[in-house]
């Protein structure tokens, strides 16, 4: 059966709430700390169990290095005023960073290449939203939210966490955005804030509960990027459940984001496959050097896969078949990139059903470091185990050992752990 993750946003969504819920659902905190530490951004995180309206939930906090996360004793600056608002300082370590600076941090981190690509795309999307709101080029935008320490950690951490769970089939409830007003850098605005409103375009939302901001720009960014469908809890056999706490403890409803993970149930004798759109175009009049940058931008726009196939076109001319696979909500963004970055004047589009193996991660120790193993399972049985290539490269470089030996050691360590019942 296919694994499915459901994001229940009855009390809104924020980056720290999503990370708290994923930790509560089983994400190892040490693995998250290692990944975030590789960003080379001086910070400290704390993870605590708290009560929200009588419900135990996990609270994730981040602060500049040397300052206790969640306990700001210096001059504060507040991003948002709602249930998920955070207060932090503008110390030198927590200064607003430009988009280019953030992308460089991501590209130098130990995140996998797909995770780096997705994180960079998320930061670019947030920056583009800010640019559109203020009417300036994206390279000139002053990144208030995206440049702050908590936003960098929340976005990069969420990308790592989602990859760790390895679940592509992600759904969400409609988002409760709250009501009232919110104080941002440019003044007081009605809820949702302008950036949040733009990021939630095409997403079902509603307003309920106390007058406060319930969805932050980072929360809107992450939920809208990962969720493929919106609606009620899908039919599933329940597995893991996690609760991520917001900052405030509201009296009438728990201020939490709930993550539910399970095996999708069969309907009418069939498993529900994951739908994707396939967009294709044959191109014979384009400089081949342009395909590389076009492919990069397609991945930044949310493509699941992009591949190029040599073909022969009319009059025997050699050409290239561009094929892009993406989740249906990403269709328009993908089309924009194709028509902007290539010379094609038309594409073919069809909706396909896709079956994927369930994926999870385990970590093993090898001489010279640690390596993650990607496990692919079907009906609970492991059918493939592959060492993460970037982890093996890192260990090989640090230890001076051959890369192929590191890969073999990682598989051997996982096999021993699995055989002993510890995998």
pLDDT at 150: 87
**Distance from the first to the final alpha carbon of the chain:** 21
**Which residue, chain included where needed, has tokens 């990607």?**
374
Query: Which pLDDT band holds residue 255 (cuts at 50, 70, 90)?
Result: very high
Of the two residues 79 and 148, the one the predictor is more confident about is 148
Average pLDDT over residues 385-399: 90
The tens digit of pLDDT for each residue in 48-98 reads 999 998 899 999 999 887 665 554 433 333 343 344 554 433 333 445 678
CA neighbor of 375 nearest in space, from 319, 418, 421, 327 = 418
Does residue 306 register a pLDDT over 80? Answer: yes
Average pLDDT over residues 129-133: 84
35-to-52, 226, 253, 324 alpha-carbon distances in Å:
28, 20, 33, 29
In whole angstroms, give the CA distance from residue 325 to residue 320. 16
In whole angstroms, give the CA distance from residue 320 to residue 312. 8
The tokens for 405 are 């030996």
Of the two residues 174 and 140, the one the predictor is more confident about is 174
pTM over 0.75: no
pLDDT at 192: 87
What φ, ψ does residue 173 adopt, rounded to 5°? Answer: -80, 165
Does residue 37 register a pLDDT over 70? Answer: yes
Percent of the chain with pLDDT over 90: 49
Does residue 168 register a pLDDT over 90? Answer: no
Torsional class of 79: left (φ above 0), alpha (ψ -120 to 50), beta (otherwise): beta
The tokens for 302 are 């949310």
pLDDT at 171: 92
Average pLDDT over residues 174-185: 84
- Neighbour order of strands in the sheet with 43-52: 43-52, 55-64, 236-245, 256-264, 3-8, 170-172, 229-230
Does residue 307 register a pLDDT over 90? Answer: yes
Average pLDDT over residues 132-138: 78
pLDDT at 259: 98
In whole angstroms, give the CA distance from residue 234 to residue 24. 20
The tens digit of pLDDT for each residue in 222-250 reads 999 999 889 899 888 999 999 999 988 88
Q: Which of 30-34, 174-178, 312-316 shows the lowest mean pLDDT across its residues? A: 312-316
Q: pLDDT averaged over the chain?
A: 85
Of the two residues 5 and 301, the one the predictor is more confident about is 5
Query: Which pLDDT band holds residue 421 (cuts at 50, 70, 90)?
Result: low
In whole angstroms, give the CA distance from residue 376 to residue 197. 37
């Amino acid at each position: 059966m296919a694994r499915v993750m459901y994001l229940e946003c009855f009390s809104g969504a924020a980056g720290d709430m999503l990370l708290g819920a994923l930790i509560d659902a089983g994400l190892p905190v040490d693995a998250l700390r290692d990944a975030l530490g590789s960003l080379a951004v001086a910070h400290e995180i704390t993870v605590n169990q708290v009560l929200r309206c009588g419900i135990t939930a996990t609270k994730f906090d981040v602060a500049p290095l040397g300052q206790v996360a969640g306990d700001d004793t210096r001059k504060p600056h507040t991003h948002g005023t709602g249930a998920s608002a955070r207060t932090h300082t503008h110390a030198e370590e927590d200064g607003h960073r430009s988009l280019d600076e953030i992308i460089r941090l991501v590209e130098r981190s130990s995140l996998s290449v797909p995770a780096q690509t997705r994180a960079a795309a998320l930061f670019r999307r947030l920056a583009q939203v800010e640019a559109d709101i203020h009417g300036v080029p994206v390279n000139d935008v002053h990144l208030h939210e995206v440049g702050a320490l908590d936003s960098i950690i929340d976005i990069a951490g969420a990308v790592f966490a989602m990859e760790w769970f390895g679940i592509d089939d992600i759904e969400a409830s409609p988002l409760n955005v709250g009501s009232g007003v919110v104080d941002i850098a440019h003044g007081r605005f009605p809820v949702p804030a302008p950036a949040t409103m733009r990021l939630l375009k095409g997403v079902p939302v509603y307003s309920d509960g106390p007058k406060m901001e319930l969805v932050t720009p980072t929360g809107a960014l992450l939920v809208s990027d990962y969720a493929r469908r919106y609606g009620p809890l899908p039919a599933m056999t329940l597995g893991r459940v996690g609760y991520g706490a917001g900052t405030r403890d509201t009296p009438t409803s728990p201020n939490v984001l709930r993550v539910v993970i399970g095996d999708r149930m069969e309907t009418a004798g069939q498993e529900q496959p994951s739908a994707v759109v396939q967009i294709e175009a044959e191109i014979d009049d384009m400089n081949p050097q342009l395909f590389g940058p076009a492919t990069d931008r397609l991945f930044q726009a949310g493509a699941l896969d992009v591949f190029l196939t040599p073909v022969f076109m009319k009059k025997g001319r050699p050409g290239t078949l561009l094929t892009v696979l993406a989740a249906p909500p990403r269709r328009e963004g993908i089309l924009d990139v194709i028509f902007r970055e290539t010379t094609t004047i038309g594409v073919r589009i069809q909706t396909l059903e896709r079956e994927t193996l369930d994926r999870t991660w385990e970590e093993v120790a090898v001489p010279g470091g640690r390596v993650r193993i990607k496990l692919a399972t079907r009906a609970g049985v492991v059918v493939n185990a592959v060492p993460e290539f970037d982890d093996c490269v890192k260990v090989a470089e640090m230890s001076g050992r051959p890369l192929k030996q590191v890969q073999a050691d990682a598989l051997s360590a996982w096999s021993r752990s699995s055989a002993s019942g510890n995998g």
